[in-house]
Amino acid sequence: MDIKTARRIKVGAIVRESWDNLAAYRGHGLVLAKEHVEEEHEAKTLGGRKQERFDLTIHWFNGPRHYNTANPELLQNWEVMLVSAT
């Protein structure tokens, strides 16, 4: 999700992974927390330098993703897509 959408997202929103449209089996997640970070960083899925981002703590409904054992998991806003707002 872009930074404009990330500004409006609220705790309780439903999200999914943004980069893999065919991975419906991984399911959706619930946003538990949102933190605004202003620093120059490498956007994980975009590749490129960004000045700000939102870090989202997400609880995956179907358990942790296959390559990560953390549930809830901390992700950048670029890594998820909004499915349903609260």
Residue 11 scores a pLDDT above 90:
yes
Res 67: pLDDT: 67
**Span 14-35, pLDDT tens digits:** 998 887 666 555 678 999 999 9
Mean pLDDT computed over 33-46: 83
DSSP one-letter string for 46-81: T-SEEEEEEEEEEEETT-S-TT---SSEEEEGGGEE
Give dist(CA 23, CA 29) in Å, integer.
13
Res 70: pLDDT: 73
